[in-house]
């Protein structure tokens, strides 16, 4: 599948203040990937995760401004469905909610979406989200969550329909 298209679609679910510079990894089955790309045409259930590289400028600004950086960043820059752009709850600082699971229990898996496999190395990096230094929000409709790890220069968008 075309990584550039996946990256472009992933950027659409982010609020505009979250600048990225590339895609690190995505984790979903081929069927889920097709469903995601055709979501405007057909309705199907999907779950997965996309890990993006946070831009250097954004990472520096988040480290400098902390939670204030995310003030008002509650609407996605684009829409992936007829429902319009994703709307997010107010941003919070880690630790992430317990109900989202624990990444350190299985370092190659990203919990919360049917244990999506993101690879052992990436899973260890993502487990920092349960420690200090991460910022997160959840889509108001409850179908997705977004975590920003400025020290790791990573953005994780995870969804489940």
Helix, coil or strand: residue 63: helix
How much of the chain, in percent, has pLDDT values that exceed 70?
63
Can you list the alpha helix ranges (DSSP code H) found in 23-127?
30-37, 56-65, 120-126
Element (H, E) at 157: strand 154-160
pLDDT at 11 over 80: yes
CB 94 within 8 A of CB 126: no
Name the percent of the chain lying above pLDDT 90: 29
- In this prediction the pTM is 0.77
Q: What is the pLDDT of residue 148?
A: 92
Report CA torsion sign: 54, 110, 11, 6.
positive
The reported pLDDT for the residue numbered 46 is: 60
Tell me: pLDDT of 102 over 60.
no
Could you report the per-residue pLDDT of 106-142, keeping only the tens digit for each? 444 454 444 455 555 666 666 666 667 889 999 998 7
The length of the chain is 161
- Buried-state track 58-78, b at ≥16 Cβ within 10 A, e below 16: bbebbeeeeeebbeebbebee
- pLDDT tens per residue, range 40-94: 555 555 667 788 999 999 999 999 999 999 999 999 998 776 778 889 999 999 8
Q: Give 45's Cβ-side CA count (13 Å radius).
A: 4
In this predicted structure, which of 15-19, 93-97, 146-150 has the lowest mean pLDDT?
A: 93-97
pLDDT (0 to 100) of residue 103:
47
Would the pLDDT of 150 be above 90? yes
Residue 146 to residues 6, 14, 31, 43, 76: CA-CA distances in angstroms? 16, 8, 23, 22, 11
Q: Is 143 helix (H, G, I), strand (E, B) or coil?
A: coil
């Amino acid at each position: 599948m075309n990584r550039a298209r996946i990256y472009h679609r992933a950027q659409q679910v982010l609020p505009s203040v979250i600048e990225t510079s590339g895609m690190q990894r995505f984790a979903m089955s081929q069927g889920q990937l097709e469903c995601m790309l055709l979501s405007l045409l057909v309705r199907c259930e999907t779950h997965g995760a996309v890990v993006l590289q946070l831009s250097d400028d954004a990472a520096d600004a988040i480290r400098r401004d902390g939670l204030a950086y995310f003030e008002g960043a509650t609407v996605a820059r684009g829409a992936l469905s007829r429902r319009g752009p994703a709307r997010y709850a107010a941003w919070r600082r880690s630790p992430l909610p317990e109900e989202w699971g624990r990444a350190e229990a299985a370092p190659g898996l990203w919990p919360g979406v049917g244990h999506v496999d993101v690879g052992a190395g990436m899973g260890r990096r993502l487990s920092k989200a349960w420690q200090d230094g991460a910022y997160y929000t959840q889509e108001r409709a409850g179908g997705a969550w977004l975590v920003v790890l400025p020290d790791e220069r990573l953005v994780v968008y995870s969804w489940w329909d």
